[in-house]
């Protein structure tokens, strides 16, 4: 009978270890997913902010806006786009995100329209070292012609 009790204790201990391991994995996965969703939400907000900055740039000068074409870096608190063709590979928002704006004139939206794509990228523990494998993108079409004044 003593041997049966020892086996029962070992089985109960093994079951307890499996249950505790499962709970630990579940908790770790939930925490990782919560961090990802929070980062994704923040990246989407920064992308929305980027679209609004492009809209403000367009509204401040339709003629100048029609000359924008290419990829631009858009850092935190920026109100204008940097030089075209800039390689946005360094973090420029909150020490975590890279925000860039791609503008294509008369491409994808139609004539006298600019297609703007704001991309916000970030990295986490799932990305390879030195890469930003996650991104949030927003796209919008902007008129390059000034509005017709009301009569």
Does residue 1 register a pLDDT over 80? no
Per-residue model confidence as pLDDT tens digits over 16-58: 999 999 999 999 889 988 998 999 999 999 999 999 999 999 9
Question: Does residue 86 fall inside a structural domain?
Answer: yes
The model's pTM is 0.80
For the chain, what is the domain count? Answer: 1
Segments forming the whole domain that contains residue 132: 2-143
Does 127 reside within a domain? yes
- Tell whether 148 is covered by a domain: no
In a domain, 132, yes or no: yes
150 part of a folded domain: no
Q: Is residue 10 part of a domain?
A: yes
Does 151 fall in a domain?
A: no
Any domain includes 87: yes
Residues pairing with 118 in the sheet: 101, 138
Per-residue model confidence as pLDDT tens digits over 65-110: 888 899 998 888 888 887 776 678 888 888 899 999 999 998 878 8
């Amino acid at each position: 009978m003593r041997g049966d009790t020892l086996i029962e204790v070992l089985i109960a201990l093994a079951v307890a270890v499996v249950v505790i391991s499962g709970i630990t994995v579940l908790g770790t996965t939930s925490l990782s997913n919560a961090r990802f969703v929070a980062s994704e939400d923040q990246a989407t907000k920064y992308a929305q902010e980027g679209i609004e900055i492009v809209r403000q740039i367009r509204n401040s000068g339709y003629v100048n806006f029609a000359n924008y074409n290419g990829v631009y870096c858009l850092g935190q608190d920026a109100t204008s786009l940097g030089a075209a063709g800039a390689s946005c590979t360094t973090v420029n928002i909150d020490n975590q995100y890279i925000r860039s704006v791609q503008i294509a004139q008369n491409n994808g939206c139609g004539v006298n329209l600019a297609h703007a794509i704001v991309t916000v990228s970030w990295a986490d523990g799932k990305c390879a070292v030195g890469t930003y494998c996650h991104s949030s993108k927003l796209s919008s079409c902007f008129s390059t012609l000034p509005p017709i004044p009301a009569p």
